[in-house]
Amino acid sequence: MRAGEQVPLGRTGLRVSRLGLGLASLGGLFAPVGEEEAAAVLERAWRLGIRLYDTAPVYGYGRSERRAGAALAGRPREAFVLCTKVGRLIEPGGPDTQPIWADPPPGLGPRKDYSYNGVMRSVTESLDRLGLDRVDVLHVHDPDEEFGTAVREAYRALAELRARGTVGAVSIGVNHAPVAARFLREAAAPGPDCVLLAGRYGLLDQSGLEELLPLCAERGVAVLAAGVYHGGLLADAGPGTPHGHTAVPPETAARIAGWRELCGRFGVPLLAAAVRFPFGHPAVASVVVGARTPEQVEQSAAWLAHPVPAALWACARRSGLLPAGCPDPPE
């Protein structure tokens, strides 16, 4: 499986690369990333054939969107798919600040706003930061924060923008699979076209399989699987490696150890199994990974290309690392 392999994004008419690049790290997630390094990451991704880029206003309080726009300026507009999000406005004194951003622009902060007018303003401001006239995929970011307003007003705004052509596809970006399933069921027809699902269909958590992924397959809703490295838990983190975990629960540590032992037995890098696993479900179109250096992008592409035998997944099911009905990814 190649990073640059192009596949349809569900019913949207868009085509995306199998590997997408999430741009939170380039906004300064956990540790600063300089302008030149950020540009080098995006350049390496392009050279590897990656054509799906996912950002958000809250990523570095506008910094990630600006860097994405600068890197994509001059690229053929039909050659890439750019995703961003709504739900937080970036403004002076915004109160919803997050300590995960290492060096945010001084004086700026996010403010939650899932209202119709807030979403329309957010899109206008994102387009300005990106230097674009349209967004290919627009996610309602963390709709569980204000679910009622998000499913009514934010979705109505996005549906109107989709009808105008300012937005190619309407999506939701979630960390909890039941929230996404509820949103799909309650949003007015025709509903979202995509779901960005973070950390809920990977080696350590398959909760997306219970309801959400079957529902997406039934409705032709494409899934972008993110968080497949589980916030760095699966990585061999060296001293000083930035991540979002202060402690690992014993049950999670045991599962990680189980996966390491199993992958070692088959001679498969653990992160190769992690990045390939979501493709077992037919609703998953692409896997979105983050990177803060060009080498990390290159490594993710190499892991995606690494074959994983079906016997490994069979052993994972027998040992309880995966549920019995979990589908195999292609070898």
Catalytic residues: 54, 59, 85
Distance CA 37, CA 43 (A): 10
For 64, residues 6+ apart whose C-beta sits below 8 A from its C-beta are: 23, 24, 26, 27, 55, 56
Q: Which two tokens stand for residue 174?
A: 């979630």
Distance CA 251, CA 87 (A): 34
Q: Which two tokens stand for residue 228?
A: 């497949």
| 192-216 as b/e: b if 16+ CB within 10 A | bbbbbbbbbbbbbebbbbebbbebb
Q: Provide the β-strand partners of residue 186.
A: none
Distance CA 112, CA 119 (A): 10
Distance CA 32, CA 179 (A): 31
